[in-house]
Structure 1
Amino acid sequence: MTATPISILDLAQVGAGDTAADSFRASVEIARLAERTGYRRVWYAEHHNMPTIASSATAVLIAHVAAHTSSIRLGAGGVMLPNHSPLVIAEQFGTLATLHPDRIDLGLGRAPGSDQNTMRALRRDPHSADSFPTDVQELQGYLTGHSKIPGVDAIPGKGTNVPLFILGSSLFGAQLAAALGLPYAFASHFAPQALTQAVATYRRSFQPSEQLAEPYVIAGVNVVASDSSEEAHALLRESQRLRVSQLVGRGRTFSDAEADAVLDSPSGQQIKQMSHYTAVGDPAEVRDYLDKFTVHADADELIVASMARSTEATLRSFEMVAQVMELAG
């Protein structure tokens, strides 16, 4: 069995011509595959007002997938805490942990997970991210049964000790996770620039806590595995073309030629840079990349995100990773 646990970040994609219901069915398939093949956990991220991502009600999606699986750990990667009151999140994840003991994780981020207009629609205070560190501690108090608000408990939630993870793509998250003694998940699958510096900062500054005695790093990495290297690279190019429509065209569909022209231009380099850490190729190439990335990231665990656009290709990619990394031993 591989020494490094591997998990899945399910992006809950809504493909062209598909519906959110199709995405939810795919999420169940992915989690069942993860459970069957030896992945450590599956996480879902909170996004809003994005037509291609269906994980906006993250806790509800986790509940649905948990009801259709039996042992795989499931969680948020993550909940954007400034969008919510800590008490509500403690109640939601306390409910999940009560229904599915020892299976629920709670990763926390401080980004809005949306654009400015959507942020206002969420009734989010533009300055609420400033209180993220104290909000994390308030949430932790509810879940451990040591509420920081006199006379207020999370019911359900109190005493469930749902494990918390700090998500980040900068030194801020690394420093906070280290100060609170929490595991740190770095979003290197889309924000690669500060990976090595952030991980080094976290490990150097880590303070042990009741939850965690030693630093623990999860690093995100994209994966596109296929039977041939050529096919895998073609799938990666398809994914990058879609990102052109999402990020440059604001949803307008580009032809392949138009998208390729953007990707090959100076302005398209940023889109390519987002997927800088990507294991792409046949099974042997993917294994070699993931082994080297683990060392480069100084990671205790990897969390892989598929860049394949179809459910079939995503499932095949994750299955190949499980086989080649010998997850099921």
Structure 2
Amino acid sequence: MKRSAIFIATLLSNLFFACGFYPYGEDVRFHFMNPDNFSFQKYQSFYYSSLYFGFNNDGEELKVSDTQNQLLWRKYCKNKVSVDDITSALENYSFSDINEKSNNAFIKYLCKNKDAEAINYLKFAKNCEFFNTWQEDPWERNENTIVKKRTVLLNTAIVLAAKTKNAEIRKRYAFLAIRLAFYNGDMMSLAKTYAQYFSVERSNDIIDIWALYFKAIEEKNQAIKNIYFAKVFAQCPEKRFVSWQAFIHKLPEDEVLKQIDNSKDKADVLMMYGIYNSGKNIENLKKIYANNSNFDGLSFLVSREISKLEDWVFTPYYTLFEPAIPDSGYTFQYDQEYQ
């Protein structure tokens, strides 16, 4: 009986230690600088954290606000329509809501000016929305039907792009064709349409950048692919996370940089490699500064470096636990680099 009591006590003590609370990650990470106090909100998915990129501290997926498309439409309307009205029409209106009786200032402006091309484009874009996804039917009952319908829309978009007189609306139709081609797995049509209506050298607005994102997916040369994704990352906040995911960070940095003549594009590529580096990143920062000292991504990476130092120095000092990201390559030895 005595031996049984000792055995049970030992067993219970082991269970206690096995299931006891052991803080780790964000529970122990010391950080005094809040990046939200700076203008880094559009890089929020990449704040230094032990959590998975793209999620906040509550485990919720981050949503990035990007109004470049609305601002482009506002410019199209000679700045006579508010961004809010444009956003409402683009995000909340259905095909049938786009008509002369609409109370939306954006729709009313287009109707008042008898801009049939823009109105017809908006209606067509609404018809395409359902087909801009991989998962149309979880039971795969209508898979072939969906592909056929998307193919019809793809061909229609190509025809409408060719017929449209307004250059901006024409480019929007071409982008719809590219996106539909992507979701149909039709990379040949994607590449052909991009070559006909877009150019990497003439990426002037958000439609160009959206199109470049799909061009990057289709691109077979890995170094060029990385350059395209880096350009999209730099210019389109809402595409940053997916561009970061698709960026081939295991490809040697030099292989990509030797393909670039433009210093700004070099800084964009270096930014991507910098985000993937959870360790010391000083050399990367120096290279970015040398190529584009005004790059807002540089300031963000500097803030990440400060957050790393706070974690590496203060977390062990104040908690006696390892840093939140222990595989950072940091050692507790005195390091002249950060003095």
**Which bin holds the TM-score, normalised by the shorter protein?**
under 0.3
More strand by share: 1
Higher relative contact order (CA 8 A, sep 6+): 1
- TM-score, normalising length from structure 1? 0.25
